[in-house]
Structure 1
Amino acid sequence: MGLAITDFPMLADFLHVWGLAVADFFRPMGIDFPPANWSLGSI
């Protein structure tokens, strides 16, 4: 069986926070990706 990001919750949390922090940096420039409601719960 393959490994999934959900098998490593601390890594998933780190990537989630990092991704949203990067997105927040670019939002004032009009770049809105990923959307603010992006989360692991949506996959």
Structure 2
Amino acid sequence: MISSIREDFPLAADAIHVWALSIADFFRDFGIDFPPADWGLF
């Protein structure tokens, strides 16, 4: 069976998700909207 990082390491996946969205929020101030706000691992 193939598992995902979300299933094997839920705390790490949450940390990566929060970190990535905080970086994206920083760039939204400059008009760069990638990844979209609803992007995520879930």
Measured against the shorter chain, the TM-score band is 0.7 to 0.9
| Gap regions ≥5 residues in structure 1 | none
In structure 2, the partner of 1:19 is 20
Higher helix share goes to which structure? Answer: 1
What SS does the corresponding residue of 2:14 show, helix, strand or coil?
A: helix
In structure 2, the partner of 1:28 is 29
TM-score (norm: length of structure 1): 0.80
What is the root-mean-square deviation of aligned Cα atoms in Å?
1.3
The separation in 2 between residues aligned to 1:3 and 1:11, in whole angstroms, is 14
Moved over 2 A (4+): 1-4
| Gap regions ≥5 residues in structure 2 | none
Identity %: 61
